[in-house]
Chain A
């Protein structure tokens, strides 16, 4: 197992950060979400209301305690946050709408975190919401043809297929190992009431589904969805006041990819941001019990497990095959919710749905898919689209109970 920080140092650092956290720590007071799926009959307002009410109920606070709101979406019209909040009586407060590609939800949450950390407010709402049934006419996310890579024929699945082919060549990863990610994902999602898919898929079914960009088949791609997820974040003071079971955000790191036309300047953006998060938390990848990462494609889960240090470089496929990323497997439970592959991907809502899953896991409330002895969680939310850089936005957060 690759260790990024020696354990002893990690523990010392954890104590140091623990003291520091006494003054400006940030906690998750409550989470809530809608089920993800195709719901063209439901408005974004309706979806948002359900998620926000669930989060407020979960936090057990009066809605008037919310002092700021951050709302992530990609395709919804300007002012979507204000539009959703007005009928819940959440008016008059600062409302900040966030677009950051598929990491819009994670970004909204990190902004709420940052405001609390900076003592601009005590309690903040982070909402992610999307209705792709209403916003998009076709299945594939349309790309801007002014982007030269897109103009030359790059599409999202192909970007991951290029990475997959190289991984197969360098490390001997097989198409079956990639496909097993979906098998595990569907199996986990069967126990998640909020997931789009509640049906198992066999390895053969995954491999035999339509080829999209070799070796990625249809069932190895995420699916467009509608839905909303919300979280109430608070200062440690607010946490003590309002909840008996807060989850602490011990690190929140974020960055964007660097220009990648020159081979000498190439980097693994997720690995860089993960390193920052581990350093800030004084926690190493070996301490993580459960992880929600951004698997828009099966291949992405294999690659990101390596970037996040959950397995050595090149071993993602073999670890998947060995069941090391299964619930209560040998190593880290990865995407117990079903992830983007099986929970579905309403772009702006995904980052906060990931957070919700981790909060439930840490509190021991993930019935049917609960990880034993779950104490430390890692979230990775990522969004692309500008192909000259590896990622538009990468948000990595570490949570403890």
Chain B
């Protein structure tokens, strides 16, 4: 399949700093109660305040749990590894693991963020999502 277009899974959750080649995930931080959420919110679900700011989240986390998906929705290519990854900000996010073989998977392993394709949309568009790979 020839890929003609690349699209981010969601445009508002990534931060690409000019000074570095590593992207970050963006969360929201409430101006009032300081609670951090991901994906980022325009108002605070914790305290109902209207003002939030975007914050770059840690690029490193630990695996809380993982699952090897062998049957999936159209557009995705099984098998792949889903995981919950815990970030130091107290955020647990659902992501995929990459760069690790099935027999090397373990709960508690340290991982870092990478951007990679997660699925195809139609014949020519690749959807880029966030994954984590072992440190």
Contact = CB atoms under 8 A, between A and B. Distances in A.
A is bound by B: yes
Interface of A: 140, 142-143, 145, 148-155, 157-158, 161-166, 169, 210-214, 259-266, 387
A152 B96 contact: yes
B70 A213 contact: yes
Interface string B84-111: 1010001111111000000000010000
Given A166-B107, A213-B71, A153 B82 contact: yes
A261 B28 CA distance: 12
A167 B27 CA distance: 29
Contacts of A169: 65, 107
B94 A149 contact: yes
The A contact surface, by secondary structure, is: mixed
Given A152-B94, A153-B129, A154-B94, 7 more contacts: A145-B75, A148-B94, A149-B94, A153-B69, A153-B82, A155-B72, A261-B39
B15 interface: no
A384 B56 CA distance: 30
B90 A264 contact: yes
Interface size class of B (residues with CB under 8 A): 35 or more
Nearest to B106: A169
Nearest to B75: A145
Given A152-B9, A162-B67, A214-B68, A387 B73 contact: no
Top 8 nearest A-B pairs by Cβ distance?
Answer: A161-B67, A166-B65, A149-B94, A214-B68, A162-B67, A162-B65, A158-B67, A165-B65
Given A151-B9, A152-B129, A261 B68 contact: no
A72 B65 CA distance: 34
A153 to B, nearest CB: 5
B103 to A, nearest CB: 12
Nearest to A157: B71
Contacts of A264: 90
A166 B108 CA distance: 11
Nearest to B70: A211
A262 B71 contact: no
A260 B90 CA distance: 11
Contacts of B37: 259, 261-262
A337 B25 CA distance: 46
B10 A148 contact: yes
A150 B76 CA distance: 11
A148 B39 contact: yes
Nearest to B66: A165
B5 to A, nearest CB: 16
A158 B82 contact: yes
Contacts of B35: 262
A145 B94 CA distance: 14
